[in-house]
């Protein structure tokens, strides 16, 4: 994609990431932010929601604008004036939350997608697409993008600095679970990691920062979720939930339920783990799915919950149903689903 060549004029670029951005969305977008800034562009990075404070040490993270009622006019203006709008680590504009309504002001701009999720039914009209569902993280695609842009034009070491490499490395290791999720790992995963290492990132520091740090409330909520864990051996499923009462009692803070869904998969023979989350009675129910082997939670979540994600990690939002109704619905559909597909592996 020949977006930027030697004689380009300063461009206005807006970078968008998905709600509740993860390490990959933050790392990829910050890397692009730093890169475009170095090339003297006018860059603006917007997150539809706050991000988990665990990531606030990332280089340039202070430059992320969190969408709110107080800055909506600024955001509208930035989107309106953009030459380019980048959609990073998502392709379904639903994931922008209320920020999606502002895209109607973006008519003048070229839309660029950089993402590794399967295409959603709710697609947007992108002008440039850099999408590859086989790569482990969007960070790899951003690496490719920057690498191809600077090759033969600028010195790589001048543009591809330690900050950019740190951000990309964070995306890479958070989306691969520190290189554990083998289904997505390929030659390019390690190739990219190797290139980033060569730039001189401080792996010790990054791993230290990313080490799980639990707040008291997080540990208490985890203990509730583990006690409530249900195991359906014959279906190879584990599921659990956290409800609004737990949240109140344990003075929840954002990010506390992060990762609860992964615990069920640690049990031998379990291939599907599900976590249901009711933040408060008025919020929709959030569901996280994690799977192993050939159980495709992206397909399952799309089919029954209008959600989506990846083959082994997906999510969904359920509006207008209680937690109990949602779990019952899940149990009902999963049993039917199993009759059709299971134990064929």
Report the distance separating Cα 292 and Cα 313, nearest Å.
9
Spatial CB neighbours of 9, under 8 Å, sequence gap ≥ 6: none
- 177 or 284: CB nearest Mn ion: 177
- 89 or 296: CB nearest Mn ion: 89
Secondary structure in 3-state letters for 244-309: HHHHHHCCCCCCCCCCHHHHHHHCCCCCEEEEEECCCCCCCEEEEEEECCCCCHHHHHHHHHCCEE
Neighbouring C-alpha atoms within 13 Å toward the C-beta of 220:
12
Spatial CB neighbours of 187, under 8 Å, sequence gap ≥ 6: none
- 206 or 334: CB nearest Mn ion: 206
41, two tokens:
């562009």
Query: How buried is residue 102: exposed, middle or buried, by Cβ count under 10 Å (0-12/13-18/19+)?
Result: buried
Which has the closest alpha carbon to 192: 220, 160, 232, 223?
160
Q: Tally the residues of the chain.
A: 345
- 138 or 240: CB nearest Mn ion: 138
Site of interaction with Mn ion (CB under 5 A): 24, 89, 138, 175
Taking the complex as a whole, the smallest distance from the CB of residue 61 to Mn ion amounts, in Å, to 17
Taking the complex as a whole, the smallest distance from the CB of residue 8 to Mn ion amounts, in Å, to 28
Taking the complex as a whole, the smallest distance from the CB of residue 95 to Mn ion amounts, in Å, to 12
- 74 or 133: CB nearest Mn ion: 133
> Which DSSP symbol is given to 14?
E
Neighbours of 282 (CB within 10 A): 7
- 12 or 310: CB nearest Mn ion: 310
Taking the complex as a whole, the smallest distance from the CB of residue 137 to Mn ion amounts, in Å, to 5
Taking the complex as a whole, the smallest distance from the CB of residue 124 to Mn ion amounts, in Å, to 18
Residues 265 and 255: beta-carbon distance below 8 Å? no
- 24 or 256: CB nearest Mn ion: 24
Taking the complex as a whole, the smallest distance from the CB of residue 157 to Mn ion amounts, in Å, to 27
| Residue number with the smallest Cβ distance to Mn ion | 24
Report the distance separating Cα 55 and Cα 332, nearest Å.
38
Report the distance separating Cα 277 and Cα 286, nearest Å.
5
> Which DSSP symbol is given to 119?
P
Taking the complex as a whole, the smallest distance from the CB of residue 313 to Mn ion amounts, in Å, to 9
Taking the complex as a whole, the smallest distance from the CB of residue 266 to Mn ion amounts, in Å, to 22
Report the distance separating Cα 300 and Cα 229, nearest Å.
21
- 24 or 296: CB nearest Mn ion: 24
């Amino acid at each position: 994609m020949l977006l930027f060549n030697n004689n380009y004029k300063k461009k206005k670029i807006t970078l968008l990431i998905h709600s509740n951005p993860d390490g990959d969305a933050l790392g990829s977008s910050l890397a692009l932010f730093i890169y475009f800034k170095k090339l003297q562009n006018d860059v603006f990075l917007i997150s539809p929601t706050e991000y988990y404070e665990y990531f606030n040490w990332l280089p340039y993270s202070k430059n992320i604008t969190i969408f709110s009622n107080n800055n909506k006019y600024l955001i509208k203006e930035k989107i309106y004036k953009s030459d380019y709008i980048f959609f990073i680590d998502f392709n379904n504009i639903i994931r922008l939350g209320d920020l999606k309504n502002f895209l109607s002001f973006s008519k003048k701009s070229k839309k660029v997608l950089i993402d590794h999720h399967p295409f959603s039914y709710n697609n947007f009209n992108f002008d440039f697409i850099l999408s590859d569902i086989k790569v482990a993280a969007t960070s790899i695609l951003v690496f490719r993008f920057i690498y191809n842009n600077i090759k033969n034009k600028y010195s790589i070491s001048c543009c591809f600095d330690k900050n950019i490499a740190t951000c990309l490395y964070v995306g890479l290791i958070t989306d691969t679970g520190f290189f554990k999720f083998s289904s997505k790992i390929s030659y390019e995963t390690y190739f990219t990691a190797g290139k980033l290492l060569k730039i001189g990132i401080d792996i010790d520091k990054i791993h230290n920062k990313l080490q799980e740090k639990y707040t008291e409330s997080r540990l208490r909520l985890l203990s509730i979720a583990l006690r409530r864990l249900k195991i359906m051996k014959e279906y190879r499923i584990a599921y659990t939930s956290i409800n609004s009462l737990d949240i109140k009692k344990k003075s929840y803070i954002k990010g506390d339920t992060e990762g609860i869904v992964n615990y069920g998969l640690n049990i031998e023979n379990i291939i599907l783990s599900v976590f249901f989350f009711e933040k408060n009675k008025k919020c929709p129910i959030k569901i996280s799915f994690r799977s192993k082997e050939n159980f495709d939670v992206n397909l399952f979540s799309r089919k029954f919950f209008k959600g989506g994600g990846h083959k082994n990690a997906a999510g969904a939002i359920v509006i207008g149903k209680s937690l109990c109704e949602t779990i019952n619905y899940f149990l009902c559909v999963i049993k039917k689903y199993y009759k059709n597909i299971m134990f064929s592996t």
